[in-house]
Homo-oligomer: A and B are copies of this chain.
Amino acid sequence: MADHAANKVYADYPPALTSEQEDYLAQTVKNWTVEHALLVRPSTAIVPEEANPKNVLATNAPVTLFPSPFPKACFEQAKTIQPVYNELYASIASDEQWLEDIMRELIEVDDFLANLWKIHIAVKEEGYVQDLSLGMFRSDYMVHTAEQAPPSLKQVEFNTISSSFGGLACRVADMHTHLATFPSPKHSVAYPTHPLFANAAGDSSIHTIGHPPHNEAVATLTAGLAAAHVAYGPSRSEPRLPTCVIFLVQDNERNVFDQLALSSHLYKHHHIPSFRLPTSKILAYTSIPSKDSNPYRPLIYTPPSSPSTQFEVTVVYFRALYAPTEYNTPTSWAARHHLERSAAIKCPTILLHLSGSKKVQQVLTARPPDTDHLKAFLPTHPESVLDNLRSTFAPQYSLSASAPEASGEPEGIRLALSAETAANHVLKPQREGGGNNIYRTNIPPFLNSIPKSQWKQYILMELIRPPTAAKNTVLRSDGQVVSGNVISELGIFGACLWRNTPGDTKPEILHNTEGGYLLRTKGKDSDEGGVAAGFSSLDSLILYEEY
């Protein structure tokens, strides 16, 4: 592997720690995380249920002890294109026909997507009573390195539902900033001297500010919720009810404090109350008046602790019901249908949820392209802006036999079945929720082990090559400190509110912002993500420019 630029910065990063330094740093982080709620509820792998029967314990989220170096130009590109990505996905979710066309084949084989689609159709037939949609997005990238070229940004996925970790990511950035600047930037006691920090005479070939950029994720995301809440307007109930936002959460959520960061900020800074609603309680605690008593279908929330005080729900913010495994009770689908047909603004609607499926990303980024979808969805943007977006696409291939190749075996199938070309790819299920990715030379035997009719449930993606020299040290949730080679994934948060007019496939954008970031870093031997699962760690970034 060539010694390209993005690896050079890692040559002696993070700086080596003496045992006293590691003890001090780990102890400081253990205390800082608790003091600032950079915490999760521990998994039963860390604390057995019998030792925590009332679920009161908390432990640090897995975090890196150092911020990871990240090319400044890539970070700025990701921020610049986020509002365009927001608009792109608002446009996709507004074009039901386009979505139906590309999902049709998948819906035949995927019960989850089929059930979502059925709900949309049923509500469409009854008639939607809410023309506003809210997207709280996170676009995920990796830095791609190639010989003789500067590092570039490649999109991993675009999340349209339950984009998490904005709350905790802000705290990691604050923590790394504290560590790098306490008691003063020139004399930080937690970090050994290093050219990437302000505590060393600078290496003239690398420029940094010595600590992570401020992370605006909480402010950005709550401003999105607040914009939707305000746009909802007055209560549609008779007499009018006080209004609230609902955070729809999993019953056994461990990532509680990430979510509370948003709800607390929403209340403190926007004076908007919100309630946490576990998915198992949707039908118990919320109701929609009958058509005769109120045709506007307001969603009424009745707090279990105070049934005489009802609220009308302006926004349902989904931090749950994104994965097939969550629809595991007889009423799960009825509950989703119930929310979809209500007047509450959904974040997301079912169409927006479907827009985030990997199939959509694959169509947008398909090699070779069938149509210029970007130009169609974003007709008002200059070609240079679209090119900036396109530069973040990693090639993706359909495994469907109906792929648009002129003749013979589709290119995706050809690349997947050859061990030589498969070695450069990852096979991903089209479903949401992660897991079960098949990597490199495991792809051909895997495909040969399943019926050919199921191949179209997968897409093939060219592997991104992150810097091979990247290293960091992690404090796991069980308190172990581990070091090694790592891979990082950058997420950029965005919020977008739009209105759909019947018959018009173009959304009217009312609010479109970018702000805040997530860096997730995992050990290089692991090919799967998911911080809450304990495999990857929350990180922040130290931007650098090389001269």
Question: Interface residues, chain A, CB within 8 Å of chain B?
Answer: 18, 20-21, 23-25, 30-31, 34-37, 39, 42, 47-48, 51-60, 182-184, 187-190, 192, 242, 244, 256-257, 260-261, 264, 267, 273, 275, 303-306, 309, 311, 477-480
Q: In this complex, what residue of B is CB-closest to A187?
A: B309
* Cβ contacts under 8 Å, A257 to chain B: 31, 34-35
Q: A55-B479, A188-B306 are in contact. List 4 more A-B contacts (CB 8 A).
A: A47-B52, A183-B267, A184-B273, A192-B306
- For the complex, give the distance between the alpha carbons of A182 and B30 in Å: 31
Q: Are B57 and A42 in contact (CB under 8 A)?
A: yes
Q: Are A51 and B54 in contact (CB under 8 A)?
A: no
Q: Which of B36, B37, B303, B479 contacts A53 (CB 8 A)?
A: B479
* Cβ contacts under 8 Å, A58 to chain B: 34, 39, 57-59
Q: Which of B51, B187, B309 contacts A189 (CB 8 A)?
A: B309
Q: Which of B48, B53, B304, B311 contacts A20 (CB 8 A)?
A: B304
* Cβ contacts under 8 Å, A261 to chain B: 35
- For the complex, give the distance between the alpha carbons of A52 and B189 in Å: 27
A37-B34, A57-B58, A256-B31 known; A189 vs B306 contact (CB < 8 Å):
yes
Sample 14 A-B pairs with CB under 8 A, ordered by A number: A20-B305, A21-B304, A31-B256, A31-B257, A34-B256, A39-B58, A56-B60, A56-B478, A57-B59, A58-B58, A182-B267, A184-B273, A187-B242, A190-B306
- For the complex, give the distance between the alpha carbons of A188 and B18 in Å: 52
Majority DSSP secondary structure for residues of A touching B: loop
Q: Are B182 and A273 in contact (CB under 8 A)?
A: yes
Q: Copy number of this protein in the oligomer? A: 2
- For the complex, give the distance between the alpha carbons of A484 and B304 in Å: 24
- For the complex, give the distance between the alpha carbons of A56 and B32 in Å: 11
**Distance (whole angstroms) from the CB of A242 to the closest CB of chain B:** 7
- For the complex, give the distance between the alpha carbons of A439 and B81 in Å: 73
Q: Are A30 and B47 in contact (CB under 8 A)?
A: no
* Cβ contacts under 8 Å, A54 to chain B: 30, 478-480
A20-B305, A187-B309, A304-B20 known; A56 vs B36 contact (CB < 8 Å):
no
- For the complex, give the distance between the alpha carbons of A513 and B494 in Å: 47
Q: Are A55 and B36 in contact (CB under 8 A)?
A: no
Q: In this complex, what residue of B is CB-closest to A32?
A: B260
**Distance (whole angstroms) from the CB of A130 to the closest CB of chain B:** 23
* Cβ contacts under 8 Å, A60 to chain B: 56
A36-B37, A182-B267, A183-B273 known; A305 vs B189 contact (CB < 8 Å):
yes
Q: Which of B51, B256, B306, B477 contacts A56 (CB 8 A)?
A: B477
- For the complex, give the distance between the alpha carbons of A490 and B50 in Å: 36
Q: In this complex, what residue of B is CB-closest to A50?
A: B51
- For the complex, give the distance between the alpha carbons of A189 and B192 in Å: 50
- For the complex, give the distance between the alpha carbons of A47 and B34 in Å: 17
A35, A39, A184 pick with most chain B CB within 10 angstroms:
A35
Q: In this complex, what residue of B is CB-closest to A272?
A: B183
- For the complex, give the distance between the alpha carbons of A287 and B267 in Å: 49
* Cβ contacts under 8 Å, A311 to chain B: 183
* Cβ contacts under 8 Å, A478 to chain B: 54, 56
* Cβ contacts under 8 Å, A52 to chain B: 47, 479
Q: Are B57 and A25 in contact (CB under 8 A)?
A: no
* Cβ contacts under 8 Å, A21 to chain B: 304-306
* Cβ contacts under 8 Å, A51 to chain B: 47-48, 51
Closest 7 pairs between A and B when the two form their complex, measured CB to CB: A54-B479, A183-B273, A24-B305, A56-B479, A189-B306, A20-B304, A189-B303
* Cβ contacts under 8 Å, A183 to chain B: 242, 244, 267, 273, 311
- For the complex, give the distance between the alpha carbons of A39 and B184 in Å: 28
* Cβ contacts under 8 Å, A260 to chain B: 31, 35
Q: In this complex, what residue of B is CB-closest to A28?
A: B305
